[in-house]
Structure 1
Amino acid sequence: MVESVLLAGGGTAGHVNPLLAVADELRRRDPGLRVTVLGTATGLEADLVPARGYPLVHVPRVPLPRRPGADWLRLPGRLRAAVRAAGEAIDANGVQVVVGFGGYVATPAYIAARRRGVPVVVHEQNARPGLANRLGSRWARSVAVTFPGTPLPGAQVTGMPLRPEIAALVDARARDSVGERVSAARELGLDPSLPTLLVTGGSLGALSLNTAVSTASGDLLSAGLQVLHLTGRGKGQAVRDRVATGQGDPDGATLPTRYQVREYLDRMHLALAVADVVVCRSGAGTVSELAALGLPAVYVPLPIGNGEQRLNAAPVVQAGGGLLVEDADLTPDWVRWTLVPLMTDDERLAGMRRAAATAGVTDGAARVADLVEQTR
């Protein structure tokens, strides 16, 4: 029986949220389990982990350079210090299993565990794995992945461990989806009877999504739709002005009641409870949550980076639960001629909901916890 585990991952919500979901599941199964989290002092984990009631041990941030340069020269010293800190956390807590979720702190945790003969479980969020998990998977006892086809040795598809509020929404919708929609709409000031489009580019927003959808606001509203547009911090006024002007107000002063603009929503599960279609980026967490909820989506991958967002969306799109649109192709005309007809086609939307659900995983945290418990 496992009595003490170390969970390593941090820096971004993509690493921290699944880590906390697995920690909660392990603690739910065994309230006496000793759970220690390894992270940095500056990432999201610095706030989220202690707030959830888990001790956080700090390690130095060790970015792995992708190209030769000054960071390569500093890497050995940084890595030694981080591996030393990770090893001290393993020793001090009598850790029997190390669970890594990628990111800067995972590499030193993997190395320290290997030196001590402590088994490792790796969870990779993205379809294209990061450097840390590519390293850790070489000697991991178990490798869990979110998406089929992720190129890691011995990978088992567990899906994404869902955030508690999303897991709770999955259960609530299974019991009473209509009641959950009505309750969420009431809290958000929306009409639960209207087809609802949710637009979100994440906390930072996405200019292309904001521009394309708000420019076509007249077509969306003329079709009898309702829009909840989350613009990202500091990006709300430009969207409000565009929507108001599009409705015949030259001063951009009046916003239609069926087009709600917010910069940020801290209770995102309410938006998902009322949405019929979501226009969004295709980060691993977003794709996994929407599929688990059976929500049709228009996925617009980031046009920069290593292409992982396109790969993340591929399984649910291939299943028929979403559409993939390149960033440059998401135009007001695309919204008018493709999105509006989709949102007014009840039969097609019903088919997409069923298809999305077939690609979704609702028990990812439990699947990863099983691997941890089986590791000795």
Structure 2
Amino acid sequence: MNTQQPGDPSGRVGAPSPAGEAGAGSPRRRGPTVVVAGGGTAGHIEPAMALADAVRRLRPDASVVALGTERGLETDIVPARGYPLELVPPVPMPRKASPELLRMPSKVRDSVRRTREVLERVGADVVVGFGGYVSLSAYLGARGRVPIVVHEANARAGLSNKVGARFAREVLAAVPDSGLPGARTIGIPLRESITTLDRASLRAQARAHYGLRPDAPTVLVFGGSQGAQTLNTAFSGASDELGRAGIGVLHAHGPKNTVAVRELPGAPPYVPVPYLERMDLAYAAADLVVCRSGAMTVAEVSAVGLPAVFVPLPHGNGEQALNAQPVVTAGGAKLISDAELTPQRVIDEILPLAGDSDVLARMNRATLGTGHREADRVLAETTLEVAGA
């Protein structure tokens, strides 16, 4: 294992041994090593992967290593994106006094120790955290050893990022007033396939891909990777009226769910699918989207300029409604509570909206005005600057 040498002026742990020599005894310069920490959910992992891609575009010689835990989605997502994954013990934060809380100190020490071993072994130049359980270990392990950058995706910052922001070199956020003092607002880093998406030029291909009618107004419905029962019930219950009004629907109901809809002769197709394997094509196919308002979803919808009806998840601390509010205020989206989304509400409000091209065009312009297509590049530049690269 590599260790920092006494008196190392870089302040960086674990500089790896020179891979070769350039001149008389001079080590060959290596690219920067960026460690990203954002495990557990896709909302934490996807921004980390978007940053990783942007770093490699700016510095092809850079190394990017992801920190995660064995129980998070990162065990599938990170290797599939071509990045090495280092696993450390998770440190879930209990929300109230319990026996688990009493065991926290030993769990924290073990996770921080393992994290420091990883940082030393890979020769970390900077740690970038996106929140979640693994980020807390990353922040505590890097503190005083490796410079830290914090990115908060949600409208209300979580505990891990509140801790990390206290000793971070740079703090950035998706939206203003996230609860992290002094945070710079840049948006959420997104995949290049989303930030470069031209919906109009891809529309014909996208509708053909999903078997949608090329000339019919089309609504995209999805509720996250597992679907959403409220959206499934409301739209399947309104499917006949949508079809009679000439509205096509692409509906991702979740792999464990099904929706029953009738095929009406002459009506545009109502296309139910378990999941959307090509979000870029799904966005391009749609004139309007009805979906939850997780931070990543709001960021993607805004970046591509897709008018939206957001139906916030009714659990947690209300952050999904807060995530949607800037787009709603700008006029690019509408908000309907989970309890109020019924088949009749779809018929009375969403159906006429989907068929009103003038209103959708105004919403499109307003939505684009709230998007941040350049967030991945901005965060990558900040990260490399902090790393001294």
TM-score (norm 1): 0.91
Alignment of 1:142 onto 2:155: no
Q: 2:242 aligns with which of 217, 220, 224?
A: 220
Corresponding residue for residue 74 of structure 1: 103
Q: 1:36 aligns with which of 59, 65, 89?
A: 65
Corresponding residue for residue 215 of structure 2: 193
SS in 1 for 2:150: strand
Corresponding residue for residue 8 of structure 1: 37
Alignment of 1:60 onto 2:89: yes
> CA contact under 8 A between 1:203 and 1:232: conserved in structure 2?
yes
Alignment of 1:46 onto 2:75: yes
Corresponding residue for residue 22 of structure 2: none
> CA contact under 8 A between 2:243 and 2:268: conserved in structure 1?
no
> CA contact under 8 A between 2:66 and 2:85: conserved in structure 1?
yes
> Offset of 1:64 from its aligned partner?
0.8
Aligned-pair RMSD on alpha carbons? 1.7
Which amino acid counterpart does residue 51 of structure 2 have in structure 1? V
Matches of 2:78 and 2:226, distance apart in 1: 22
SS in 1 for 2:115: helix
1:200-239 alignment, distance < 5 Å: 200-236=222-258, 239=259
Structure 2 unaligned regions, length at least 5: 1-29
Corresponding residue for residue 353 of structure 1: 364
> Offset of 1:371 from its aligned partner?
1.3
SS in 2 for 1:57: strand
Corresponding residue for residue 195 of structure 2: 167
> Offset of 1:260 from its aligned partner?
1.0
1:1-376 alignment, distance < 5 Å: 3-116=32-145, 118-169=146-197, 173=198, 177-236=199-258, 239-240=259-260, 243-244=261-262, 258-375=269-386, 376=388
Which structure has more helix as a fraction of its residues? 1
> CA contact under 8 A between 1:228 and 1:259: conserved in structure 2?
yes
Matches of 1:107 and 1:2, distance apart in 2: 26
> Offset of 1:31 from its aligned partner?
1.3
> Offset of 1:196 from its aligned partner?
0.2
SS in 1 for 2:66: strand
Matches of 1:132 and 1:2, distance apart in 2: 29
Structure 1 unaligned regions, length at least 5: 248-253
> Offset of 1:257 from its aligned partner?
5.7
> CA contact under 8 A between 1:244 and 1:255: conserved in structure 2?
no
- Which deviations, in whole Å up to 9, do the C-alpha atoms of 1:10-67 show, x marking residues without a partner? 0110111110110111111111112221111231111222222222111001111111
SS in 2 for 1:105: helix
SS in 1 for 2:117: helix
Which amino acid counterpart does residue 370 of structure 2 have in structure 1? A
> Offset of 1:268 from its aligned partner?
2.0
SS in 1 for 2:143: helix
- Which deviations, in whole Å up to 9, do the C-alpha atoms of 1:126-166 show, x marking residues without a partner? 10111100110111111111112211011111111112332
Corresponding residue for residue 250 of structure 1: none
> Offset of 1:374 from its aligned partner?
2.1
> Offset of 1:125 from its aligned partner?
1.0
> CA contact under 8 A between 1:244 and 1:256: conserved in structure 2?
no
> CA contact under 8 A between 1:138 and 1:153: conserved in structure 2?
no
Matches of 2:302 and 2:203, distance apart in 1: 17
> CA contact under 8 A between 1:6 and 1:37: conserved in structure 2?
yes
Which amino acid counterpart does residue 310 of structure 1 have in structure 2? A
> CA contact under 8 A between 2:130 and 2:161: conserved in structure 1?
yes
* Aligned residue-pair number: 358
Matches of 1:347 and 1:258, distance apart in 2: 23
Which amino acid counterpart does residue 8 of structure 1 have in structure 2? A
Matches of 1:256 and 1:193, distance apart in 2: 12
**Which of 1 and 2 has greater Rg?**
2
Which amino acid counterpart does residue 46 of structure 1 have in structure 2? T
Which amino acid counterpart does residue 10 of structure 1 have in structure 2? G
